[in-house]
Structure 1
Amino acid sequence: MAERTGPELTGEVALVTGAGRGFGRAIAERLASEGAAVALMSRSRGELDTVVDAIASAGGRAVAVTGDVTKADAVSAAVEAAEAALGPLTLFVNNAGVPGPFGPLWTVDPEDWWRSQEVHIRAPMLFLNRILPGMVERDRGRIIVVSAVASRMVAANLSAYCTGKIAQNRLVEEAAAELADTAVKIFAIDPGFVFTQLARDTMESPDAQKWLGGMVDRLREKEGEEPADLARCAQRCVDLASGRYDALSGRYMELPDDIDAWRAEALEEATS
């Protein structure tokens, strides 16, 4: 990889989904602060325009693209718009997510449950299918899937979310195996915890209050806390986007994980 000058991600072109607020916004703004040109995607144009303005005010470059991440035509149109405005994508952050539905499998609406899987599984698959051909052809690119600690938990009455996040991690592992002979890398991360709108939606859901009372109580306790994990998560994305941790492609990682130690171990194994 050529040596960089200036900000860490100068010359990179990123697309971030769910970028209008919360973790998605923090990631997009941090990538832009490090020199990446960033396309922001969600269904709400108003939120995206606010983030675009904030990035521009800080001296960065960003565009807004709207669409439903579960629809193939919308995904293709978003990628085309992003690349027309900024150039070929070199980074993709799959951040869009939904918290519910909540409750036992025999009480939730199967259609609601399946719509959750469309956001968590179909959406990243659509983006990978659309973006990877160009990245593989150029032999350059990095992808970060924002998973969750729920991916390694069995949490009663939270099956839609846990199943979707487990599947995301396996999708990353499969993609990494298929990309092994290329310079394209992919990672899954837990972003940490911040009281975002998604957390508020969960806390205010009658079904969550009924079936996940303990979790709702913990969310109430977290409301108003300093959102330190926003910055930590955004920095983790910058680190992975930089190329320094390419040896960890396919891995799922959480904020407390010592990825420098993991990298050293992976490099040692590769040369032994």
Structure 2
Amino acid sequence: MPTPRPDPSSQDHARGELHGQVAVVTGAGSGIGRAIAELLAVHGAHVVGVDRRKEPLTDLVESIAASGGSAAFMTVDVAEAESVERCISASRENHGSLDILVNCAGVIVPPTPIAEFDVRSFDYIMGVNVKGVFLCMRYALPIMINQGRGVVLNIGSVTSVKTMADLGPYAASKRAVTALTRAAALEVGPQGVRVNELLPGPTLTRMVTGPVDAQTGAVASFASKVPLGRVSLPAEQAEAALFLVSARSAYVNGASLLVDGGLAWA
């Protein structure tokens, strides 16, 4: 019998399908990361929000608590090994387990041809988008292996599937995330740990569409390229993430799930 889906509006988080699980979500301060953190909390997980900035994390934790959920936060630079190791270790020690890791921290720079791309910007993108994912998995996977259970969800991008001009370094970083995801899935699947990837299309976040006062043109431009005729909302990406980290996807491992409105094939 399928597991009944909890009502997202319910205040009874204790009965959620993720009740008793500890979820570390990087990039939780805004955008898709925040939407995922909030939804996992709605479904009963204790969420540890991770970001470089304290202010949005404080707001996240207060928001989750106000709706009856449970959350904490840690300020972390995911590109620094010592910072990540402290975060992962503290999450397990403070909360008893590490059941879910969502690697959503990511950066992008304005579209630029490779021939003109700044080398420092390239290093920055690779440091956060690739090294950050590697480091979080490097320190979380041994804990999950020891537990005999755990789920990792890496947030990639449709650009790793659909080639686009002027986004080469960003797309390369996200394709690297795909490689890390699939290799890890093979390595830790036998130990009861699943590793999957979510590939969002254009989503209404500040990182993708820019400042609020400039979003109208950016959104229209992206929407015109998507077969569904619109960009995604962060909440829609969060719903897909919930599926991939929950028991609903218990037989899914090493997968890359496109949630892009069909853009990859347009």
Question: Which residue pairs with 2:114 in the alignment?
Answer: 105
Question: Which residue pairs with 1:245 in the alignment?
Answer: 249
Question: Which residue pairs with 1:118 in the alignment?
Answer: 127
Question: Which residue pairs with 2:176 in the alignment?
Answer: 167
Match of 2:30 among 21, 35, 56: 21
Question: Which residue pairs with 1:92 in the alignment?
Answer: 101
Question: Residues 256 and 120 of structure 1: is their aligned pair in 2 closer, same or farther, counting only changes over 3 Å?
Answer: closer
CA contact (8 A) 1:199 1:219 kept: no
CA contact (8 A) 2:204 2:232 kept: no
Matches within 5 A, 1:14-93: 14-93=23-102
Q: Identity, % of aligned pairs?
A: 31
CA distance in 1 between partners of 2:133 and 2:205 (Å): 21
Match of 2:192 among 172, 183, 204: 183
Per-residue CA shift, 1:111-161, capped at 9, x if unaligned? 211210111110111011101001001111001011110011221211111
Bigger mean CA offset, 245-254 vs 99-108:
99-108
Per-residue CA shift, 1:83-125, capped at 9, x if unaligned? 2332221100000111125322221111211210111110111
* Letter in structure 2 aligned against 1:29: E
What number of residue pairs does the alignment pair up? 245
Per-residue CA shift, 1:17-57, capped at 9, x if unaligned? 11011111110000000000000011110000000000000
CA distance in 1 between partners of 2:115 and 2:125 (Å): 16
CA contact (8 A) 1:188 1:253 kept: yes
Per-residue CA shift, 1:184-211, capped at 9, x if unaligned? 0011012343321102449999xxxxxx
Q: Residue 233 of structure 2: SS of its match in structure 1?
A: helix
Question: Which residue pairs with 2:10 in the alignment?
Answer: none
Question: Residues 52 and 203 of structure 1: is their aligned pair in 2 closer, same or farther, counting only changes over 3 Å?
Answer: closer
Question: Residues 75 and 56 of structure 1: is their aligned pair in 2 closer, same or farther, counting only changes over 3 Å?
Answer: same
Deviation at 1:245, TM superposition (A): 1.5
Matches within 5 A, 1:172-211: 172-201=181-210
Deviation at 1:241, TM superposition (A): 1.6
Deviation at 1:220, TM superposition (A): 9.2
CA contact (8 A) 1:32 1:38 kept: yes
Instruction: State TM-score, norm by structure 1.
Output: 0.82
Per-residue CA shift, 1:197-236, capped at 9, x if unaligned? 102449999xxxxxxxx978615989xx998632222121
Instruction: State TM-score, norm by structure 2.
Output: 0.83
Match of 1:8 among 17, 20, 23: 17
CA distance in 2 between partners of 1:256 and 1:215 (Å): 16
Unpaired runs of 5+ in structure 2?
Answer: 5-13, 262-266
CA contact (8 A) 1:100 1:202 kept: no
* Letter in structure 2 aligned against 1:112: S
Matches within 5 A, 1:249-268: 249-255=253-259
CA distance in 2 between partners of 1:58 and 1:226 (Å): 30
Question: Residues 108 and 227 of structure 1: is their aligned pair in 2 closer, same or farther, counting only changes over 3 Å?
Answer: closer
Deviation at 1:59, TM superposition (A): 0.7
CA distance in 2 between partners of 1:174 and 1:233 (Å): 24
Q: Residue 115 of structure 2: SS of its match in structure 1?
A: coil
Unpaired runs of 5+ in structure 1?
Answer: 206-213, 258-272
Match of 1:146 among 148, 155, 164: 155
Question: Which residue pairs with 1:266 in the alignment?
Answer: none
Question: Residues 14 and 92 of structure 1: is their aligned pair in 2 closer, same or farther, counting only changes over 3 Å?
Answer: same
* Letter in structure 2 aligned against 1:218: S
CA contact (8 A) 1:101 1:108 kept: no
